Structure 1
Amino acid sequence: MHKPHAHRRVALIDMGTNTFHLLIVEMATTPGNKPLVLLRTKVGVRLGEGGISKGIIAPDAYARALHTLAGFKEEIELHQAQEVRATATSAMRVTKNGPDLVRDIFEQTGIQVNVIPGEREAELICEGVRQAVDLGQEHHLIMDIGGGSVEFIIANQATIFWKQSFEIGAQRLLDKFFPDPSGVFPAAAVEAEQQYFGTVLEPLLEAVRRYQPVSLVGASGSFDSLADMQLGELRTEANLSPSTELALSSFQESYRHLLSGNHEQRVAIPGILPMRADMLVVAAVLVDYVLGITEITRIRTSAYALKEGVLAEMLGL
């Protein structure tokens, strides 16, 4: 018999369409103490690659997901976490074989995956962002560009005024607008993508007019990459500060840089993960579109998102 731990350890898994995240924390024994982070890691699973636009998880992606969860399970056992909260989003939500993957993960690892709807995802992202950025009283637009879906939330530190999840994530945008990943992203493709946003993001346009957000807070890998490009170096998960100020001029320069190159040149830019190089192009077009309709000039990134939101709820923050 193991002696029970005095400290409760919790593992939080966020199974996104591009990236799977694992966060293991030790809950504080005294109220008001922040949980101690024991491990923060991520794996580029690319669950949506080759299938999300067809409504399936492709066999290779399915195998990568199971392999990654087996690895996560080892880390969870190594760190002796007693509780696991696993959340899955767009790719698992909309695919025909998503439920099969949930079952296989449970059978192979004992981890029960909770597939959540987009509205709930938006709420948890907002909660996570609030742990990284003090939103104060003003209205801010929070944006999380995933591989499968994009969440927009207009909120301050206390209230969510509006939120919506759109199934227009970076993998879907790549499939739709970037058929030749080896080459340059042509001006016509940028134009087509922006016109598409003009149609599909009508509700966002209305919300922005109504609530007039004063800044943009980006919570996702694409924003981390844009901040890394500003720094000129790729930061590890452990080195990401909770929030980074992203200068508008830096974003504009990165955007031009991303659009002007081909795949090889993009991969060579300091601060870019190779698997994110092409996705970053379609994501940057979306960021540019949002800046255009909001006329926002202040951009911050949040290293915290969904899993930190789950943790904040558990702690009753």
Structure 2
Amino acid sequence: MTKRLALIDMGTNTFHLLITEVDESGNRTDFVKTKLPVRLGQGGISKGTIAPEAYERAMKTLKDFRRQIDEYNVETVRAMATSMVRSASNGEDFIKDIYKQTDIQVEIIDGDREAELIYHGVRSAGVLDGQTSLIMDIGGGSVEFIICNDQEIFWKQSFEVGAQRLMDKFFTDDPIPNTQVAAEKQFLAAQLQPLTEAVTEHKPVRMVGASGTFDTLCDIDALSRGDNTRQLSQPATAALQVSDFYKIYQELLHKTHDERLAIPGMLEMRVDMIVLASILVDFVLETYQLKEIRVSAYALKEGVLQKVLQEEGFNNA
């Protein structure tokens, strides 16, 4: 028994498409794995609406996803929309419009469900063990934190402090002024109070960064040492030394847009948001005294894959 699936993650900044086939042993063959900078939150996230240009970019991207899905004769399509769509006043109309134009049925998932699916995705990468970890998934609209081990979730919560929201609030000049770095950290200390309480209770020993920003940080780190194997093999897991993160962080804080873009491994779609996201990583490492960073290339869409396979009776999922 084999099953061919398409998984779409409609993030606030990036849209992901994974077309994969799974056999009865749970072995995966990926046919399409793509991420595109749709920037659904651009121009509208702070106003609580999807702006017309972003709406158009999303439709164009999803029509192209539909073409690829048809090309590969996919049986099951699961599409998830997250923070931007769930908080947008025109989110429901957008979902109806997508169905009308592409025949893709999109599910708007709440932050709690998003965090749970991210956990299952990260767990399937093999990055967790018996020790307590703090998973962190930085999106454009929201950030999910999950305190867990490889067996269970102890606590989880989604916060509307994603990189696009932080950018709109704090990225007044480039390079970002020290006053704005301090202002972002002050804001995070207030917003993340429930996380602070949960960390005190469950005492995670490491950070596990999920996908996105963390993949880019690992790419920059590897290429700075002349190691281009990540580009070739795209491993499911990686380790990032805390000291290496801080080297990159200092660069990001003090460079302009064009200088950041010239850093080997930098993606154009992350070049500004990674500054705000890295301040958030620094805040979490420092506040909760975490000394280790592991990275999972798997996140939401792989979590959805795990759930679909379980529903379909693939026992190894």
**TM-score scaled by structure 2?**
0.94
Q: Does 1:294 align with 2:285?
A: no
Residue from 9, 31, 34 that aligns with 1:38:
31
Superposed CA offset, 1:268-316 (max 9, x none): 1111112211100000000000001111111011110001001111222
Q: Find the counterpart in structure 1 of residue 313 from structure 2.
A: none
1:262 equivalent in structure 2: 256
Q: RMSD value over aligned CA atoms?
A: 1.5
| Matching residue's letter, 2:294 | R
Q: Which residue of structure 2 aligns with residue 129 of structure 1?
A: 122
Q: Which one of 232, 240, 253 corresponds to residue 223 of structure 2?
A: 232
Relative to 1, partners in 2 of residues 1:219 and 1:151: Cα closer, same or farther, differing over 3 Å?
A: same
Residue 169 (structure 1) aligned with residue 169 (structure 2): no
| 1:48-96 deviations in Å (ceiling 9; x for gaps) | 0110111001111000000000000011011110110000100110001
Q: In structure 1, list runs of 5 or more residues that go unmatched.
A: 1-5
Aligned amino acid, residue 196 of structure 1: F
Match of 2:15, SS state, is: strand
2:9 equivalent among 1, 5, 14: 14
Letter in 1 for 2:129: G
Pairing of 1:247-258 with structure 2 (within 5 A): 247-258=241-252
- Cross-structure match for 1:90: 83
Name the amino acid aligned to 1:16.
G
Pick aligned residue for 2:272 from 261, 271, 278: 278
User: Does 2:19 correspond to 1:24?
Assistant: yes
- After superposition, what is the alpha-carbon deviation per residue over 1:100-145, rounded to whole angstroms, capped at 9, x for unaligned? 1101110011000000000000000000000113422111000000
What amino acid is aligned across from residue 302 of structure 1 in structure 2?
S
- Alpha-carbon distance in structure 2 between the residues aligned to 1:315 and 1:113: 19
| Separation in structure 2 between the aligned mates of residue 136 and residue 303 of structure 1, nearest angstrom | 16
Moved over 6 A (4+): 233-238
TM-score for the superposition, normalised by structure 1: 0.94
Q: Secondary structure at the match of 1:232?
A: helix
Counterpart of 1:197, as a letter, is L
Paired positions, count: 308
> What SS does structure 2 have at the residue aligned with 1:36?
strand
SS in 1 for 2:272: helix
- Residue 95 to residue 167, structure 1, CA distance change in 2 (3 Å): same
1:146 is aligned to 2:139? yes
Verify the 8 A CA contact 1:154 1:211 in the aligned structure 2.
yes
CA–CA distance in structure 1, aligned partners of residues 290 and 204 of structure 2: 8
Question: What's the CA shift for 1:200?
Answer: 0.6
Name the CA distance, whole Å, in 1 between partners of 2:231 and 2:306: 19
| Matching residue of 2:188 | 197
Change (3 A) 1:235 1:120: farther
CA distance in 1, matches of 2:204, 2:218: 21
Percent identity between the aligned chains? 52
List runs of 5+ in structure 2 lacking aligned partners: 311-316
Q: Secondary structure at the match of 2:42?
A: coil
Q: Determine helix, strand or coil for the equivalent of 2:130.
A: coil
Deviations 1:9-42 (A, max 9, x none): 11000000000000111121x3x33232121111
For 1:221, which of 201, 212, 218 is the aligned residue? Answer: 212
* Residue equivalent to 2:62: 69
**The 10-residue stretch of structure 1 (67-76 or 261-270) with the greater mean CA deviation from structure 2:** 261-270
Contact 1:40 1:237 in 2 (8 A): no
Deviates more, 1:142-151 or 1:96-105: 96-105
Secondary structure of the structure 1 residue equivalent to 2:122: helix
Q: Secondary structure at the match of 2:32?
A: strand
Displacement of 1:243: 0.7
Q: C-alpha distance in 2, partners of 1:51/1:72?
A: 24
Equivalent residue number for residue 304 of structure 1: 298
Q: For the residues of structure 2 that align with 1:174 and 1:125, how far apart are their CA atoms?
A: 23
